[in-house]
A and B are shown apart, each in its own frame.
Chain A
Amino acid sequence: MNDLNYDELGLRIGIEIHQQLASQQKLFCHCPNQLQGTRAPDFEVLRKQRPVLGEEGKFDKGMLVEFLKKGSVVYEGYYDSTCTYELDETPPFSCNEECIDIVLEIAHLLHMNIVREMHVCRKNYVDGSVPGGFQRTMELGQNGHLLLKSGKEIGIENIFLEEDAARRSKTEGKTSYFRIDRLGIPLTEITTTPDIHDPYEAKEAAYRIGLLLRSTNKVKRVLGSTRQDINISIKHGERIEIKGVQKLDWIPALVDFECHRQLKLIEIKNILTKGSAKIAQLVNKPVDLTSLFQDTDCKFVKAGIKKGLKFTGMKIAGFKNIFGTEVFPNIRFGTEVAGKVKVLTGLKGLIHSDEDLVGKYQFSEAHIVETRKLLSIGEHDLFVLLLAKGQALETAIDVIIGRTKAAFKGVPEETRQAQEDGTHIFLRELGGEKRLYPDTDSPAIILSEERIERIKTVVGPYPWEVIDAYSKKHSIAPEIVEDLIMRGNLTLYDKLITILPDNPTLVIRTITDMVKVLHRDKKNTEQLKEHHFVVLITGVKNKEVAKEAMEPILEIWTRHPSLTLVKAKEQAGITSFDLSQLDDIVQGIIEKNLDLIKARGRGAMGPLMGDLMKAVGRGSIDGKILSSKLNQALAPHLPAKSVNKKKNKEKKDNKSPKSPKNGGKN
């Protein structure tokens, strides 16, 4: 599928990055900015949300769609870390100043024009993810830009400060459960202009914005704290918003899929407009076929009818072969329509006459002929069969008519949900600016010249400059510096390298690899704070801690963070050792093993090291010192030539750590 020429297609991509801020408190209340993980909630509150009249006095399209799926929403909360604000029982407190400052800093990094008077707006959501039914959001800056690695500059359209929505914890039937710990966590949303013309460039831009955000050390880094959406359009197509792009690696596949889909939809439009099909012929005239099909051989239809569902047919004039047209391998236009019906009605799908009705569904020829007659299906017409009743049926018919009518215009504007396989499915109608209303509960927020200038003074250098400078100064790979930034470890590194200036490799290994190993072993590495590393590295510097002992000590601290270095060493079974005794011990071991040395020569090193480590206590002296001592003591007992291996070994030890994988993926 790499036959796409993005330039010819007129591909335009814009990205939206949503990033949680690492402030102390939430945006509009004083609850902690902290997710509660798997902790069981203390209480539940049941709500039912309704669409409200929009500016035109009609139900907003996007909201109406959500309402069609209506069910109840249950909010799960905690007494100690959520309040009546999150539950929409108390008006907002004043907007958190720390959050405003963080976003101001980011806006400066993106060269944005700062809005002098922010107006808190409401963005309506009726999927239940916000108890109030709307998210509070404000625009803080506009018209910025970002330099890509290639030297190209892309426009940053806007930067917003807003509240995160609640997280869905489960869905039971028509009831959605949301955990409100995430609700109200401050987010910044950054949107680029759609002047990215290639999916790989989009990926790089998203990564670069992510790196920039993390370089401030004021944003969250945990899984789910960064989310991105992409907007795609091609010439003659329409803007499609794709939500839930969990990994940047997904972007190229999603874009390619959308290009193919839009091309096909445009093709279908051309066929329809040139052919005999007419929009006006698409009418809501369903025919009840229940009695005709009650004894059909198609098992699920028969069972459904028995359960009281209606089997309904409808004519789609002029659509023969259109539903069967693939917009992407294995995804037909019919799949598109069915997908939309499924999302909006909860029905499993639809049957259409471009399918193999006899082979796939076991319908009899007689039934098909009768259906064609009842629906007066002509040469160019298609028919759709639905197994449903009540509201779901009515909605499904409306959706099918709406979607087929839209096919005459080509690509309908939609918000779609990214799938892991690189495709995406209908999520909702594109809401856009119609969903935004002023928030009557909050006063406008003035950003003074003094404040804007004050924040300018704290803005740090660009991460790419930092990477360049560090890799030169400390002779480390740029990827390693990048990893330190992505993980938020650069400040810690700065502190530790002043203690141990000669060994950046060890410092980096300590704060990255060692912590990673502990994390992989399910140790609570959250407990490891800056002072632990400072004490540890100081211990190494003062030769109180052997390199081998570092990881065991850190492991102890993950469980007992308040222990001193001495106590942690004790707990880890590392005893202090008086160096002056070392020579005697080495000598003793050699004398005890003279036979072995005679027999195995240099090969005795291994067992002797084992004995020696046991004698001094594991981790109490650097293994390198031990082996060098042992080597020295062993030399007189060996034939002269085999001594030079030592050099090789040292070389190996000094090898820089492997560059970590391109970590910190969003």
Chain B
Amino acid sequence: MTNVTNEYEGYKLESIEILKKFGAKTWSKIKIENQMGISEGIILPRNKYAPDGMVEIKLKNGYNIGIPLDSTTKIEVISQEPKMEIKFDPITPAPNKNLPNLVLMGTGGTISSRLDYVTGGVIPAFQPAELFAAVPELADVCNLETEVVYQIFSENMKPKYWLDLAQSITKKVNNGVDGVIVAHGTDTLSHTASALSFLLKDLQTPVVCVGSQRSSDRPSSDAAMNLIHAASIAGKSDIAEVVVAMLGSSDHDYGFIHRGTRVRKMHSSARHAFRSIGTPPLGMIRESQISMFTTDYHKRPSPTVETYAAKKIEEKVGLIYAYPGMPHDLLDFFIDKNYKGLVIAGTGLGHIPYDLYPSLERAQEAKIPIVMTVQTLWGYTGMDVYENGREIQSYGVIPGQNMLPEVALTKLAWILGNYSNDQEIRTLISTNVAGEITKGEPINGYQIFQGVESHLVPEKHKTKSPKKKKK
């Protein structure tokens, strides 16, 4: 996203040469003629990955089309139009004493971005006035201050950013806000939620991480609903944990409140992509009504205590996914590059191919803690069940129990950044700190409905309708 005015934004050499010849540039209103006929429209900036030799125009009827530029092209510039930009009427509601004071920390992502209606590009800004203009209902739920912490796609988050974010949140919380909303891209929303769960200690207020799967430029966006849900949870709930609030179903109806260490994005695009794994969500919200499914969560402390953020984080931690035929080089790489810790998403109960065992031994010698998790996501490691599991353990690999692989990664980053004693590190990894390891998996912690259940009821169990007797 560059602010430099580029007269040929996105166009390549061949196109620029022809446009220049006729004095045309982006936002010129032109009449263009070639073998295919005559068209009239305004030159738009072009996607920089699109092929050369075309000019993209917005026709009077609103459609965009691309027209070839070649030696036969004739262009007549009619006028130079102003750059089409989104302007909006900012709304700054007066503070309402009866509403909770919340802070919204923006990190980027779909929820804090909007479509550039002209070029189709994504605009990452989301200022409070703009937010209120788009979601005026927020003003009924809270007083909101916003802070743009990052403007990045969430795949570009880094452990260091998690730490910065935790520290910013701590400041706000200790300054007396009633709750925190973290607006985040959904790709790694759960990574950040779990990292914050470890990095923040003695939290006084809810920290609600929220994203959207459909950008707010679409009428069907989930952004407004998720934001309103997040604001209600941050302002009203008694939860003093890091949670994720996202739609619970494909319906624009209720949202789920997920624990930051048990949640995972399970669909690349659906609104209800976020699911609690191995345990039901903590609660739900429907039309600002919060219902908790459990009492087993941290409540807002009374009297308030000071919230702390961890001082450091270890960035040299890795996560690898086991697969058949996996070479040992992959593991060796982390050892050779002096990584401080590693998570393996193992097959089944927590296995990796035999070929990697010598490398495990090397890691053990190098005192690199390795946490084994399961790529099945549901269920626990069971590394005593088979002989190979026991052998893997003999090289010092720590069973991660039912910690999700990404959660084990953020936990390792936190532990290795703040603890140095080997034994302490091993103990912490195996101990539940923020709900990341549960004592057991309730039977409804693993449920995947696919709409075929009604066919699965055995015939004999189906209620028989009384037979009509014909006379």
Task: Answer yes or no: B12 CB below 8 A from chain A CBs.
Answer: no
Question: C-beta contact mask, B266-306 vs A, less than 8 Å → 1, else 0?
Answer: 01111100000000000000000000000000000000000
Interfacial chain A residues near B268, Cβ < 8 Å: 90
Query: Which residues 28-83 in B have Cβ within 8 Å of A in the complex?
Result: 36-39, 47, 50-51, 54, 56, 59-68
State which of A42, A52, A138, A440 has its C-beta within 8 Å of the C-beta of B63. Answer: A138
Q: Is the CB of B133 within 8 A of A57?
A: yes
Question: C-beta contact mask, A29-66 vs B, less than 8 Å → 1, else 0?
Answer: 00000000000001101111111111111100001000
Nearest chain B residue, comparing its CB with the CB of A73: B252
Query: Which residues 79-126 in B have Cβ within 8 Å of A in the complex?
Result: 84, 86-89, 114-115, 117-122
Q: Is the CB of A84 within 8 A of B270?
A: yes
Interfacial chain B residues near A115, Cβ < 8 Å: 65-67
Interfacial chain B residues near A158, Cβ < 8 Å: 61, 63
How many Å lie between the Cα of A175 and that of B225 in the bound state? 18
Nearest chain A residue, comparing its CB with the CB of B36: A113
How many Å lie between the Cα of A49 and that of B251 in the bound state? 11
How many Å lie between the Cα of A49 and that of B218 in the bound state? 9
Task: Answer yes or no: B9 CB below 8 A from chain A CBs.
Answer: no
Query: Which residues 539-557 in A have Cβ within 8 Å of B in the complex?
Result: none
Nearest CB of B to A210, in Å: 23
With A116-B54, A131-B220, A436-B62 in contact, is A58–B251 under 8 Å at CB?
no
Nearest chain B residue, comparing its CB with the CB of A51: B219
Q: Is the CB of A47 within 8 A of B220?
A: yes
Secondary structure type dominating chain B contacts:
loop
Nearest CB of A to B114, in Å: 8
Q: Is the CB of B120 within 8 A of A134?
A: no
Task: Answer yes or no: B174 CB below 8 A from chain A CBs.
Answer: no
Nearest chain A residue, comparing its CB with the CB of B35: A113
Task: Answer yes or no: B253 CB below 8 A from chain A CBs.
Answer: yes
With A91-B269, A133-B218 in contact, is A117–B67 under 8 Å at CB?
yes
Q: Is the CB of A117 within 8 A of B251?
A: no
Question: C-beta contact mask, B215-239 vs A, less than 8 Å → 1, else 0?
Answer: 0111111001100000000000000
How many Å lie between the Cα of A507 and that of B68 in the bound state? 50
Query: Which residues 121-144 in A have Cβ within 8 Å of B in the complex?
Result: 121, 124-126, 131-134, 137-139, 142-143
Interfacial chain A residues near B216, Cβ < 8 Å: 52
Task: Answer yes or no: B250 CB below 8 A from chain A CBs.
Answer: yes
With A143-B37, A436-B63, A438-B64 in contact, is A88–B214 under 8 Å at CB?
yes
Q: Is the CB of A54 within 8 A of B117?
A: yes
Interfacial chain A residues near B38, Cβ < 8 Å: 143
Question: C-beta contact mask, A58-81 vs B, less than 8 Å → 1, else 0?
Answer: 100001000000001000000100
Q: Is the CB of A116 within 8 A of B67?
A: yes
Task: Answer yes or no: B134 CB below 8 A from chain A CBs.
Answer: yes
How many Å lie between the Cα of A121 and that of B117 in the bound state? 10
Task: Answer yes or no: A446 CB below 8 A from chain B CBs.
Answer: yes
Interfacial chain B residues near A131, Cβ < 8 Å: 220
How many Å lie between the Cα of A629 and that of B151 in the bound state? 95
How many Å lie between the Cα of A292 and that of B339 in the bound state? 83
How many Å lie between the Cα of A45 and that of B451 in the bound state? 13
Q: Is the CB of A57 within 8 A of B87?
A: yes
Task: Answer yes or no: A375 CB below 8 A from chain B CBs.
Answer: no
Q: Is the CB of B219 within 8 A of A113?
A: no
Nearest CB of A to B231, in Å: 16
Q: Is the CB of A45 within 8 A of B250?
A: yes
Task: Answer yes or no: A444 CB below 8 A from chain B CBs.
Answer: yes
- Interface magnitude class on chain A: 35 or more
With A46-B252, A439-B120 in contact, is A52–B219 under 8 Å at CB?
yes
Nearest CB of A to B342, in Å: 34
Q: Is the CB of B217 within 8 A of A52?
A: yes
Q: Is the CB of B250 within 8 A of A49?
A: no
- Binding-face segment, A392-400, A401-409, A427-435: A427-435
With A47-B252, A88-B214, A437-B117 in contact, is A432–B87 under 8 Å at CB?
no
Question: C-beta contact mask, A90-131 vs B, less than 8 Å → 1, else 0?
Answer: 110000000000000000000001111111010011100001
Task: Answer yes or no: A87 CB below 8 A from chain B CBs.
Answer: yes
State which of B51, B122, B134, B250 has its C-beta within 8 Å of the C-beta of A87. Answer: B250
Interfacial chain B residues near A584, Cβ < 8 Å: none
With A53-B86, A433-B60, A439-B120 in contact, is A446–B51 under 8 Å at CB?
yes
How many Å lie between the Cα of A116 and that of B67 in the bound state? 6
How many Å lie between the Cα of A437 and that of B84 in the bound state? 12
Q: Is the CB of B86 within 8 A of A55?
A: yes
With A49-B219, A79-B451 in contact, is A119–B56 under 8 Å at CB?
yes
With A46-B253, A113-B37, A131-B220 in contact, is A119–B64 under 8 Å at CB?
yes
How many Å lie between the Cα of A143 and that of B134 in the bound state? 39
Query: Which residues 3-36 in B have Cβ within 8 Å of A in the complex?
Result: 36
Q: Is the CB of B271 within 8 A of A89?
A: yes
Interfacial chain A residues near B224, Cβ < 8 Å: 50
Q: Is the CB of B115 within 8 A of A440?
A: yes
Nearest CB of A to B287, in Å: 11
Interfacial chain B residues near A117, Cβ < 8 Å: 54, 56, 65-68
How many Å lie between the Cα of A312 and that of B59 in the bound state? 46
Q: Is the CB of B66 within 8 A of A58?
A: no
Interfacial chain A residues near B225, Cβ < 8 Å: 48
How many Å lie between the Cα of A87 and that of B56 in the bound state? 31
Interfacial chain A residues near B267, Cβ < 8 Å: 89
Interfacial chain B residues near A126, Cβ < 8 Å: 219
Q: Is the CB of B250 within 8 A of A139?
A: no
Nearest chain A residue, comparing its CB with the CB of B54: A117
State which of A48, A50, A57, A116 has its C-beta within 8 Å of the C-beta of B88. Answer: A57
Q: Is the CB of A433 within 8 A of B50?
A: no
Interfacial chain A residues near B269, Cβ < 8 Å: 84, 89-91
Interfacial chain B residues near A48, Cβ < 8 Å: 225, 252
With A89-B250, A433-B60, A437-B117 in contact, is A114–B36 under 8 Å at CB?
yes
Q: Is the CB of B61 within 8 A of A433?
A: yes
How many Å lie between the Cα of A655 and that of B273 in the bound state? 69
Nearest chain A residue, comparing its CB with the CB of B253: A46
How many Å lie between the Cα of A432 and that of B87 in the bound state? 20
State which of B63, B118, B220, B253 has its C-beta within 8 Å of the C-beta of A139. Answer: B63
Interfacial chain B residues near A55, Cβ < 8 Å: 84, 86, 117-118
Nearest CB of A to B223, in Å: 9
Nearest chain A residue, comparing its CB with the CB of B84: A55
Interfacial chain A residues near B120, Cβ < 8 Å: 437-440
Nearest CB of B to A246, in Å: 25
Nearest chain A residue, comparing its CB with the CB of B272: A89
Q: Is the CB of B66 within 8 A of A142?
A: no
Interfacial chain A residues near B217, Cβ < 8 Å: 52-53, 437
Question: C-beta contact mask, A158-173 vs B, less than 8 Å → 1, else 0?
Answer: 1010000000000000
With A433-B60, A437-B120, A444-B66 in contact, is A52–B133 under 8 Å at CB?
no
**Residue among B54, B88, B120 with max Cβ neighbours from chain A (10 Å):** B120
Interfacial chain A residues near B36, Cβ < 8 Å: 113-114, 116
Nearest chain B residue, comparing its CB with the CB of A438: B120
How many Å lie between the Cα of A213 and that of B103 in the bound state? 58
Can you report 11 A-B residue pairs in the complex whose CB atoms are below 8 A from each other? A51-B219, A52-B221, A57-B86, A79-B451, A118-B65, A125-B219, A134-B219, A142-B39, A158-B63, A435-B62, A438-B117
Task: Give the A-binding residues of B (Cβ under 8 A).
Answer: 36-39, 47, 50-51, 54, 56, 59-68, 84, 86-89, 114-115, 117-122, 133-134, 214, 216-221, 224-225, 249-253, 267-271, 451
A-B contact sample (19 more), CB < 8 A, given A47-B220, A116-B36, A116-B66: A43-B451, A46-B253, A47-B252, A48-B225, A50-B221, A50-B224, A52-B219, A53-B86, A57-B88, A91-B269, A114-B36, A117-B56, A131-B220, A132-B220, A139-B59, A434-B62, A437-B117, A439-B120, A440-B120
Q: Lowest 5 A-B CB distances belong to which pairs?
A: A117-B66, A133-B219, A433-B62, A57-B88, A436-B62
